[in-house]
Amino acid sequence: MEKGYRIAVVGATGAVGTKMIEMLEDTTLPIESVKLLASKRSAGKTREFKGAPLTIEELVPDSFNGIDIALFSAGGSISKVFAPEAVKRGAVVVDNTSHFRMDPNVPLVVPEVNPDALKRHKGIIANPNCSTIQMMVALEPIRQTAGLKRIIVSTYQAVSGAGAKAIEELKQEAQALLDGKSKEELDPQILPAGSDKLHYPIAFNALPQIDVFAEDDYTYEEWKMINETHKIMEDDAIKVAATCVRIPVVSGHSESIYIETEKEMTPQAVRDLLEKAPGVTLQDDPSQQVYPQALNSVDKKDTFVGRIRRDLDVKTGLHMWVVSDNLLKGAAWNSVQIAETLHELNLVRVPN
Amino acid sequence: MEKGYRIAVVGATGAVGTKMIEMLEDTTLPIESVKLLASKRSAGKTREFKGAPLTIEELVPDSFNGIDIALFSAGGSISKVFAPEAVKRGAVVVDNTSHFRMDPNVPLVVPEVNPDALKRHKGIIANPNCSTIQMMVALEPIRQTAGLKRIIVSTYQAVSGAGAKAIEELKQEAQALLDGKSKEELDPQILPAGSDKLHYPIAFNALPQIDVFAEDDYTYEEWKMINETHKIMEDDAIKVAATCVRIPVVSGHSESIYIETEKEMTPQAVRDLLEKAPGVTLQDDPSQQVYPQALNSVDKKDTFVGRIRRDLDVKTGLHMWVVSDNLLKGAAWNSVQIAETLHELNLVRVPN
């Protein structure tokens, strides 16, 4: 690779797409060109890349002619149709939607956790769900050291995970309530799930629904955390339970995580381990009120871990608080990091 | 009791005191008179009670002469000094602060759960912590039916639990951020804990600290949930772990609760049980997106329970989502309900 890769960003105008462009400005990946793709509606608009304007083009199958790496974040239905078209034209796809995640032929990758899974790629690599990624970054070092038997997680998820329109919805609702309007005067259209029947206010509220409901009265978001954990850690025996909740935060997912390990680890041993762990910033000093906060995680690539403490009854039980910018490590940064890792492992090519 | 009780409200200008006055307007308790007490600073101000203005008086020991029931919610240091003064003058005290809660001579009461503990009162009855009360209301019917071995709870707590100034702080910060100010331009003074050294923004954030840090790196709020559960359920063998988190909600605490019972119960059996349980409103129909929401709990006396589902790995494991107005069932309503129960049990007298 002399000059660098020709990269396409699909869904360039979205909340994640915008961050993908920023992450590409900052990557170690050699880049020859960047092509921005979106729906017909957005075609013709411009976005800056390293100070120069790039014109957004309409996404069509031939958009991928001459592309080496395509980063997708325009919804599952777009990925379903266009990711195979990109692969057919020789591009390696890193897909941020849920569409291919559980496909046995598609590696589901968090570079700090399972980079070797990339070696099995057949053209498409899936980026895990935002709430799963940060949990994996925090727990993998513990799993490697002490084994992992069980996870119970309750999430505190930001609205930007539901896209740019959800951010606007939160802000408009918050302003209306601050102006003295009643909750009945609000007109929610997006949350808790754009595709579901009913919509509820998120401002000054907490909604225990992310994505639609599925088997056993768990939501898809909760199933994603369960199934993706098993796939990424390559261990279906880990017991995983999740309760996924949207709260009125713009960006930065927080998670209250309880785990049971095989071997007992002291909280201090966990701190020592995570202090050196890739992609983790330890923020854990109760005596100085140091712990991760959603507001402080924004625009940071790392996963922040704190409030590490022993369970009072179960010897191998530990509690912790894990926070990360859902648009970066949860989406755009993990996708670009996958591209960087593909480059390092010399895997930016579609196998025959 | 011919005419009714002479009642005092201590801390009448606070977030909880204000709600106590509202609850007294609505109680079945026979009332002869209501006296409003507060600090010297608030003395002379008026508050309406059933349409008539009441003048707030300065709290002094002799304020309790001729009082039958005194409801305290003015901070632990006020209760420490003035609750014994009230009892000395013949008043029964219902105290909403944490000061007397773990005193073995003081019953800690949720009327739906342990009303009989009132029979042992020696003048002072403690109202439990807000986050504990709603959990007890939801779990006691299950404990009675299937036994309760374990609780793991993560809370999503509203700012009104930290008082009227915390509500103002949330609103000012939210407005500043909506106006485009940066988080560095905010000036938090109250949260996460008024008495702690550092203060952090709560608007569009989540703070994993409520009250100050204590033993084993758990906060006092977390210890309250653990210790008060043992005292109210009269069973120290129940394993309890709590992670308490403040989120940008004005009123209405939400809780993600995992429990393990002695005997297996299906989610439907739990629903059938809670449908008839005192103080509970079941809101649990995922097919219609029905589940409890903080915004909908405001000004309601009940505890709302939904998202009831089995754990996928542990046969006796269940998950649920429990919401209640922290100023009402979590404080003012539970206090007035204790007074009603004292009346019903003919216990409104200080034992010799």
Residue B150, pLDDT > 60, answer yes
At A30, the amino acid letter reads P
Residue B233, pLDDT > 80, answer yes
By the 8 A CB rule, do A328 and A23 touch? yes
By the 8 A CB rule, do B147 and A259 touch? no
Same domain flag for A140 and A98 = no
Enumerate the residues of chain B whose CB falls inside 8 A of the CB of residue A178.
171, 174-175, 178
B206, B243, B310 member nearest A216 (Cβ): B310
Per-residue pLDDT tens digits for A124-154: 999 999 999 999 999 999 999 999 999 999 9
* Band of pLDDT at residue A1, cut at 50, 70 and 90: very low
Which residue(s) pair with B280 in the sheet? Answer: B303
A326 labeled binding residue: yes
The β-bridge relationship of strands A52-55 and A46-49 is: antiparallel
Same domain flag for A68 and A153 = no
Same domain flag for B35 and B103 = yes
Same domain flag for A186 and A315 = yes
Beta-carbon contacts of residue B237 (< 8 Å; ≥ 6 apart) = B149
Per-residue pLDDT tens digits for B236-263: 999 999 999 999 999 999 999 999 999 9
**pLDDT given for residue B343 in this prediction:** 98
Ordered DSSP codes for B250-274: SS-EEEEEEEEESS---HHHHHHHH
| Best residue in A135, A152, A282 for a mutation probing chain B (most B CBs within 10 Å) | A152
Q: Assess if residue A197 is contained within a domain.
A: yes
Same domain flag for B276 and B203 = yes
Question: With pLDDT > 90 as the criterion, what percentage of chain A qualifies?
Answer: 98
Residue A93, min C-alpha distance to chain B (Å) = 33
Q: Do A256 and B250 touch (CB under 8 A)?
A: no
Q: Do A204 and B293 touch (CB under 8 A)?
A: no
For residue A36, the domain's CATH number is 3.40.50.720
Question: Which residue stretches of B281-325 are H helix?
Answer: 294-297
**pLDDT given for residue B351 in this prediction:** 86
- ipTM for the predicted complex comes to 0.97
Per-residue pLDDT tens digits for A3-52: 799 999 999 999 999 999 999 999 999 999 999 999 999 999 999 999 99
Same domain flag for B146 and B250 = yes
Q: Assess if residue A351 is contained within a domain.
A: no
Q: Assess if residue A43 is contained within a domain.
A: yes
A14 labeled binding residue: yes
Beta-carbon contacts of residue A182 (< 8 Å; ≥ 6 apart) = none
* Angle (CA) B101 B106 B111, round 5°: 80
Of all residues in chain B, the one with the smallest CA distance to A173 is: B178
- Rounded Cα–Cα distance for residues A10 and A310 (Å): 44
B145 labeled binding residue: no
Q: Does B316 touch chain A (CB under 8 A)?
A: no
A330 labeled binding residue: no
**pLDDT given for residue A352 in this prediction:** 72
For residue A315, the domain's CATH number is 3.30.360.10
A205, A311, A321 member nearest B241 (Cβ): A311
| Best residue in B151, B186, B217, B284 for a mutation probing chain A (most A CBs within 10 Å) | B217
- Rounded Cα–Cα distance for residues B69 and B350 (Å): 10
Same domain flag for A138 and A227 = yes
Closest CA to A297 of A322, A265, A334, A268: A322
Of all residues in chain A, the one with the smallest CA distance to B253 is: A206
At B197, the amino acid letter reads K
Q: Assess if residue A349 is contained within a domain.
A: no
Domain that holds residue A78: 5-127+331-344
Same domain flag for B175 and B250 = yes
* Band of pLDDT at residue B63, cut at 50, 70 and 90: very high
B143 labeled binding residue: no
B175 labeled binding residue: no
Residue with tokens 């390990």: A261
Q: Which two tokens stand for residue B281?
A: 């409103």
B209, B226, B295 member nearest A204 (Cβ): B295
Q: Does B289 touch chain A (CB under 8 A)?
A: yes
By the 8 A CB rule, do A96 and A346 touch? no
Please give the average per-residue pLDDT across B41-58, as a whole number: 96
Please give the average per-residue pLDDT across B116-131, as a whole number: 98
Residue A159, pLDDT > 90, answer yes
Same domain flag for A110 and A141 = no
Enumerate the residues of chain B whose CB falls inside 8 A of the CB of residue A173.
none
By the 8 A CB rule, do B255 and B323 touch? yes
By the 8 A CB rule, do B171 and A178 touch? yes
**pLDDT given for residue A3 in this prediction:** 78
Residue A262, min C-alpha distance to chain B (Å) = 17
| Best residue in A154, A198, A210 for a mutation probing chain B (most B CBs within 10 Å) | A154
Which residue(s) pair with B97 in the sheet? Answer: none
Enumerate the residues of chain A whose CB falls inside 8 A of the CB of residue B204.
248-250, 294-295
Q: Assess if residue B349 is contained within a domain.
A: no
- Rounded Cα–Cα distance for residues B44 and B155 (Å): 38
Which B residues 77-116 touch A at CB under 8 Å?
none
Backbone CA torsion sign across B224, B229, B234, B240: negative
A174, A217, A307 member nearest B286 (Cβ): A217
Q: Do B306 and A171 touch (CB under 8 A)?
A: no
The β-bridge relationship of strands A253-261 and A317-324 is: antiparallel
A42 labeled binding residue: yes
Q: Please report which helix (H) or strand (E) contains residue B335, including its range.
A: helix B333-344
* Band of pLDDT at residue A111, cut at 50, 70 and 90: very high
Of all residues in chain B, the one with the smallest CA distance to A171 is: B178
Q: Does B66 touch chain A (CB under 8 A)?
A: no
A156, A241, A258 member nearest B311 (Cβ): A241
Number of domains making up chain A: 2
Residue B122, pLDDT > 70, answer yes
Residue B1, pLDDT > 60, answer no
Please give the average per-residue pLDDT across B133-159, as a whole number: 98
Which residue(s) pair with B306 in the sheet? Answer: B321
Beta-carbon contacts of residue B119 (< 8 Å; ≥ 6 apart) = B345, B347
Q: Does B278 touch chain A (CB under 8 A)?
A: no
Of all residues in chain A, the one with the smallest CA distance to B150 is: A313
**pLDDT given for residue B99 in this prediction:** 97
Residue A16, min C-alpha distance to chain B (Å) = 19
- Rounded Cα–Cα distance for residues B20 and B328 (Å): 8
Q: Is A294 left (phi over 0), alpha (psi -120 to 50) or beta?
A: alpha
A157 labeled binding residue: yes
To the query of whether residue B253 is one of the catalytic residues in this protein, the response is yes
Q: Which one of B130, B244, B319, B343 is the catalytic residue?
A: B130
Please give the average per-residue pLDDT across B159-183, as a whole number: 97
Q: Assess if residue B308 is contained within a domain.
A: yes
Residue with tokens 């869904």: A11
Q: Does B314 touch chain A (CB under 8 A)?
A: yes
Question: With pLDDT > 90 as the criterion, what percentage of chain B qualifies?
Answer: 98
Q: Assess if residue B351 is contained within a domain.
A: no
Same domain flag for B267 and B336 = no
Helix axes of A220-233 and A130-146: crossing angle, nearest 10 degrees: 40
Residue with tokens 């920023």: A22
Which A residues 224-263 touch B at CB under 8 Å?
226, 239-241, 243, 245, 247-250, 252, 254, 256, 258
At B175, the amino acid letter reads Q
B212 labeled binding residue: no
Residue A347, min C-alpha distance to chain B (Å) = 37
Residue A234, pLDDT > 60, answer yes
Contacts across the A-B interface (CB distance below 8 Å):
170
The β-bridge relationship of strands A57-58 and A69-72 is: unpaired
Question: With pLDDT > 70 as the criterion, what percentage of chain A qualifies?
Answer: 99
Q: Assess if residue B226 is contained within a domain.
A: yes
Which B residues 133-162 touch A at CB under 8 Å?
150, 152, 154, 156
Indicate the DSSP class of residue A157: B
| Best residue in A200, A282, A313 for a mutation probing chain B (most B CBs within 10 Å) | A313
By the 8 A CB rule, do B253 and B330 touch? yes
| Best residue in A230, A293, A318 for a mutation probing chain B (most B CBs within 10 Å) | A293
Residue with tokens 């799930």: A193
**pLDDT given for residue B117 in this prediction:** 98
Measured from the Cβ of residue B149, the count of other Cβ atoms closer than 10 Å reads: 17
Helix (H, G, I), strand (E, B) or coil at B116: helix
Q: Which two tokens stand for residue A232?
A: 């990424």
Closest CA to B319 of B151, B201, B205, B188: B151
Same domain flag for A144 and A212 = yes
Q: Do B249 and A206 touch (CB under 8 A)?
A: yes
By the 8 A CB rule, do A321 and A255 touch? yes
Same domain flag for B118 and B225 = no
